[in-house]
Structure 1
Amino acid sequence: MRPRHAVDRSLATIAATFSLVTSDVEGASPVSADATVRGVSMASDDVQPGDLFVAVPGARVHGARFAADAVGAGAAAVVTDAAGVAVLGDLVRRVPVLVADDPRALAGPLAAHVLGRPAERLTTVGVTGTNGKTTTTYFVDAALRAAHASTAVLGTVELRIGEDAIESPRTTVEAPVLHGVLALALERGATAVAMEVSSHALALHRVAGTTFDVVGFTNLQRDHLDFHGDMEGYFRDKARLFAPGQARRGVVVVDDEWGARLAREAQIPVESVATHVGDPAAADADWAVVSADVGLDGVGSTFVLRGPDGARHDAVSPLPGLVNVSNAALAIVLAHAAGVDLQVAIGAVATAHAIPGRMERVIERAPGRALALVDYAHTPDALVLALEAVRPITPGRLVIVFGSDGDRDRGKRPIMGEIAARLADVLVVTDENPRSEDPASIRAAILDGVRTVRPDLTDVLEVEPRAEAVRRGVALAREGDTVIVTGKGHEPTQEIAGVFHRYNDRDVLLAVRDESAGGHA
């Protein structure tokens, strides 16, 4: 996704602006006075004629290994580090090669410069945290839509400008892609953007070159420790978003110790939001949820939000559970901080559309039929919140179909099993994204946790493949029961042994529903 009308930028001016020098390899191609670029890319298969190709060190190979492909596709010049220059070989004599100490950190500012700094001409809201980023971002977008003629959403589910969307490759795209989407959003008339910002993105400079108008923090729970090392490292990377140059102001939910710490330590002006009714922290918070009623079947939750001036505002979360009261409250304050009238924001969030894979009701209750939902809960805390959210709307048994990711934090697997065994009635343990690991070993680790609550594995099934597990979960459910399928949410693929297979939990549930309807005809 790029703007159709790009502007040529002087390569010499770019080099001077960012203090880049040409390679000192003998015979290296110089930067001519009339050399120009019109785009930036970090992926050789995304290069368009006139691009500046930024080659960065990767986990396995250096991006400079793909520079020849990029030049073959029309790249006008290459930016890389000293290690990348050594990989380029004779290519340094064919195109200008500019050298930077940290090309990854520079990719965002370069893209912003080449594309005319599109973020500066948009109202930008970024949301980070472990759980609730997607839901909060969609709530914010609903509020922004009420005040702007056209908006964009960038996140885990999709990249959407107005009504046009494509599947998102990751929670936060690489910096050149980000600035390209922002420039395209401007070109198509959007004036505001809501965006998810992952901890990986912050650590890897994917939002470099963007200064958000407002940023929000949901919570910090155990996740991605394989990448960040420990919770302290995870927190430090999240906190990067709340720094001068990265954001102008912030809104922080202070329900956990990490949020309270972030509110204290942030280097930008911050408003605090307390969403746990009765929490002593609410007295000192700028905004606080002072009462909340979880809705019954088919209804969200109502709550009262107290503002900094003491005024109380009736509000609604369209999704069930106290976790979504927190998400809605944060979204309202974020939108208000971004310039949306408070009552307009409250009204828009109350009517927000269904969010793919987030407490998504796929099969509704009917005579002889259970309610079935899909939720992305893939961390221990998110699983607790999901099961606690659906229990009040479940007259009968709670049936969960779940697994855990491969090649990720192994320590959470038995924790997930213990939580499911404690909070659900019937468990169907299956595969999530095994990746390179043996799926059976992942399921075994989950079952170890299950046994701490149910030593004899009562009402516990182990079923694979995942589609069959979903079918089995629905078949086990009776009228009044709820089936919740967790872990993958909106994801359109399942990764097994390095291969991505098209798969979606919602699609399987819809197929089961349609088959059931056909059987009753």
Structure 2
Amino acid sequence: MCDILCRVLASGGAQTSAPARDGEAQGRDRAGQRDRGSALLEGRQRGGQVRRGFELAVKLLDVLRVLREEGESFELIGDADVELTGVTNHTSQVRRGYMYVCVRGARFDGHELADDALERGAVALVVERPLEHGVPQVVVTNPRRFMGRVSSILCGRPSRALRVVGITGTNGKTTTTFMLRSILVGLGFKVGLMGTVVYSDGEEEVEADRTTPESWEVQGWMRRAVDRGCTFFVMEASSHGLQMDRLVDVSFEASAFTNLTPEHLDFHGTMEGYYQAKRSLFFDYTAPGGVRVVNVDDEWGSRLSSELRRAGLPSFSLSLLDPSADFFAAVEGVDMRGARAQVFEGGCLAGQLLVPMIGRYNVYNALTAYALARGLGFSVEEALRGIRELRRVPGRVEVRRLSNGAWAVIDYAHSPDALEKLISAAREAMGEGGRLVALFGFGGDRYLRNAWEMGKLAAERCDFVVITMDNPRFDDPMEIARHIEAGVVAGGGQGRYAIEIDRKEAIRRAVRFSRDGDVLLLAGKGPESYMIVGDEHLPYNEERALREVLEEEGLGLEVV
């Protein structure tokens, strides 16, 4: 038997029902914590309500007693003999009986909004500095972290009733979570999901607002998943969510690292800061004996793997380049309908991986999902079948065949690395003689150097570039377009590009340019149903815009 299988079985991963859990990464007695926290809620009836995820009223006094016993530091001002029905840091979400958490953000200071929260029914405040109000106030140094702890208690510490899997990295998180969900659902499990596209409790799902939402939303959706009877909860763990304590009190059984490339540097400052945020998922949130899967072809992943090994934390390596990795995939072929690869475990051939999505990077994503499934104890065939039967990942390399013989690919790629991978995937998959057209913009309030990089990359690798709008927020979309244009010119794209800010008209321009064999990359929007202009979310969807243009131009479309 291959070494990799021995390691999986020795770790207890071969169990397919929820095993006894090892405890939190911080080394606390998890069972004891659950007893103390859940004791507050025993005997309370939920009445089938799953909308918010919070349990019925709990005394603030009891919540604080549990947190103090667990080592949380705070100062109480006022009488804590009030009942809490929820917690939030958004005044618009405050309901009667809520605790309002005063968080200082980039644009607003929650302390200045406390009056509004109290008018809406808040009965307690979490603050960094005492305020002149007559309600009980809990003074802490880190309101966000404290909010996560309270949220977890009010929701009954739901992650401890779930097998939670977290995937982090710059790119590939969404696709990997959908692939793993496909494996688990195919085996009959009910699975909750949280990420960039949707939040799901295993039965109902809503369009996501952000990749990793606030802690009270994370805990609320996990509570819903428990109430719906989910066994697993698969989620994307963003660097923002990790650094801003949105995942406090979430216990992960398994975690995976996809890759790390420059993004969100406006927030993290440096790549080192960005890496440290991602690294925390494996060191601070995943159980000591949990499953950790790392892409070692990525330089940051290679570093993470080494640091885990030095810390004595078990992990599995995956690679498309190094046959000695724990999980290795040898790509056999890629076309516009998907990719094929042979999978090896510990040097032994395990089976054939059929990925119904174009691109070698999706082989990485599939191999990550496969490795997680194997680490969680499922068989080779169970893992391979779940990936093979994946229906779709919304807005991720969704291929459409136009009646004029051209192809359109709708994808969420909105960073230089993601765009480079999308272009490479299309170049490898498309036939000879076709032209490659890239249509994209760049988000406002973001690291503008990336806009230039994307323009240069597209000019160097594509035959034509259409520069358009993509969530400009408070920036001037034409100014953003000029940054992209400068990159296009630097990449030698003079005479091979156009600027059309109206995104639907930009698609029309690309469609009119296309002919048989061409591939149109519609990058950046993916499955989004809006365009963010200022603080407004204006209705827009890429698939719908493409279909409208094709109908108006007298062309048809086939979903591949």
Match of 1:331 in 2: 369
For 1:59, the equivalent position in structure 2 comes to 106
Q: Which protein, 1 or 2, shows the higher relative CO under an 8 Å CA cutoff with sep ≥ 6?
A: 2
Alpha-carbon distance in 1 for matches of 2:53, 2:281: 30
Matching of residue 8 in structure 1 with residue 57 in structure 2: yes
Aligned partners of 1:56 and 1:519: how far apart in 2?
A: 51
Quick one: distance in 2 between partners of 1:288 and 1:317? 15
CA distance in 2, matches of 1:475, 1:15: 64
1:452 paired residue number:
490
CA distance in 1, matches of 2:125, 2:398: 45
In structure 2, C-alpha distance between the alignment counterparts of 1:133 and 1:415, rounded to whole Å:
22
SS at match of 2:460: helix
* Letter in structure 1 aligned against 2:389: T
1:232 aligns with 2:272: yes
Tell me how far 1:300 sits from its aligned partner: 1.2
Kindly provide the CA deviation profile for residues 207-256 of structure 1, in whole angstroms up to 9, marking residues without a partner as x. 11101110111000111111111111111111011114444331111111
Structure 1 residue 96: Cα displacement: 1.6
- Partners of 1:348 and 1:382 lie apart in 2 by 25
Distance 1:245 1:235, change over 3 A: closer
User: Is residue 256 from structure 1 mapped to residue 298 from structure 2 by the alignment?
Assistant: yes
How many Å apart are 1:437 and its aligned residue? Answer: 2.0
How far does residue 342 in structure 1 lie from its aligned partner after superposition? 3.1
After superposition, the Cα gap between the structure-2 partners of 1:516 and 1:268, relative to the gap in structure 1 and judged at 3 Å, is farther
Structure 1 window deviating more from structure 2 (194-203 vs 248-257): it is 248-257
Q: Which moved more, 1:209-218 or 1:146-155?
A: 146-155
1:318-368 C-alpha deviation (Å, 9 max, x unpaired): 10110000000001111222343332121101111211111012x3243x2
Which of 367, 382, 387 lines up with 1:344 in the alignment?
A: 382
Structure 1 position 268, deviation (Å): 6.8
Counterpart secondary structure, 2:315: strand
CA distance in 2, matches of 1:405, 1:36: 43
The 8 Å contact of residues 273 and 330 in structure 1, kept in 2 or not, is answered as no
Distance 1:161-1:292 versus aligned 2 partners, 3 A rule: same
2:319 pairs with 275, 293, 315, which one? 275
Residue in 2 aligned with 1:370?
A: 406
Q: Assess, with a 3 A threshold, how the Cα gap between structure 1 residues 67 and 144 changes in structure 2: closer, same or farther.
A: farther
Q: Which amino acid aligns with 1:296?
A: D
What per-residue deviation string (whole Å, max 9, x for no partner) do you get for residues 109-163 of structure 1?
A: 2111121110011111111000111111111111121234321111111112234
Letter aligned with residue 465 of structure 2: L
Alignment partner of 1:50 out of 87, 94, 97: 97
The answer to whether the 8 A contact 2:423-2:461 is kept is yes
Q: Which moved more, 1:344-353 or 1:432-441?
A: 432-441
1:276-355 aligned at under 5 Å gives the runs 276=320, 279=321, 281-283=322-324, 285-289=325-329, 291-297=330-336, 299-308=337-346, 310-355=348-393
Corresponding letter in the other structure for 1:360: E
**Residue aligning to 1:219:** 259
User: Is the Cα contact below 8 Å between 1:417 and 1:447 reproduced in 2?
Assistant: yes
TM-superposed deviation, 1:5: 7.4
Deviations 1:57-101 (A, max 9, x none): 22233213333333333333222222xx23xx2x2x1x2211212
- Tell whether 2:80 aligns with 1:31: yes
**Aligned pair count?**
498
1:17 has 2:90 as partner: no
2:216 pairs with 1:176: yes
Contact 2:87-2:100 at 8 Å conserved across structures:
yes
The answer as to 2:160 corresponding to 1:120 is yes
Q: Which amino acid aligns with 1:206?
A: R
Which residue identity does 1:495 align to in structure 2? I
Please tell me whether the aligned partners of residues 251 and 270 of structure 1 are also in contact (alpha carbons under 8 angstroms): no
The question of whether the paired residues in 1 share the 8 Å contact of 2:53 and 2:223 is answered with: no
- AA paired with 2:527? H
Segments of 5+ residues of structure 1 without an aligned counterpart are: none
**Residues 374-424 of structure 1: per-residue CA shift (max 9 Å, x gap):** 111111111111011112332311111112222211111221111101111
What is residue 461 of structure 1 aligned with on the other side?
A: 498
Equivalent residue for 1:439, pick from 457, 477, 482: 477
Alignment deviations for residues 422-472 of structure 1 (CA, whole Å, 9 cap, x no partner)? 1111111112122222222221221222112326x1221111211111111
Tell whether the 8 Å contact from 1:157 to 1:356 is kept in structure 2 after alignment.
yes
Matched, 1:392 2:428: yes
- With 323-332 and 182-191 compared, the bigger mean Cα shift is at 182-191
Q: 2: distance between equivalents of 1:79 and 1:497?
A: 30
Shift of 1:517: 4.1
**Stretches of structure 2 lacking an aligned partner (at least 5 in a row):** 1-49
Alpha-carbon separation, structure 1, partners of 2:84 and 2:214: 19
Q: Is the 8 A contact 2:183 2:382 kept in 1?
A: yes
Contact 1:249 1:269 in 2 (8 A): no
Amino acid at match of 1:271: S
Q: C-alpha distance in 2, partners of 1:514/1:255? A: 44
Q: Which amino acid aligns with 1:381?
A: D
> Aligned equivalents of 1:268 and 1:239: distance in 2?
15
Q: Contact 1:417–1:450 (CA<8 Å) still a contact in 2?
A: yes
Post-superposition shift, 1:313? Answer: 2.1
Q: CA deviation at 1:172?
A: 0.4
The one-letter code sitting in structure 2 at the alignment partner of 1:124 is V
What's the C-alpha RMSD, in Å, of the aligned pairs? 2.1
Of residues 318-327 and 145-154 in structure 1, the stretch that sits farther from structure 2 once superposed is 145-154
Contact 2:54–2:220 at 8 Å: present in 1 too?
Answer: no
Deviation string 1:476-503 (CA, Å, 9 cap, x unpaired) is 1112111111112122221224433111
Of all paired residues, the percent bearing the same amino acid is: 34
Contact 1:7 1:115 in 2 (8 A): no
Contact 2:255 2:286 in 1 (8 A): no
Look up the equivalent residue of 1:451 and give its one-letter code: V
Indicate the larger mover: 215-224 or 444-453. Answer: 444-453
Change (3 A) 1:461 1:21: closer
Contact 1:143 1:340 in 2 (8 A): no
- The answer to whether the 8 Å contact 1:300/1:317 transfers is yes
Is the 1:263–1:270 contact (alpha carbons within 8 Å) kept by the matching residues of 2?
no
Q: Secondary structure at the match of 2:230?
A: coil
The Cα offsets for residues 156-185 of structure 1, whole Å up to 9 and x where unpaired, read as 111122342111110101001100010011
Change (3 A) 1:415 1:15: same
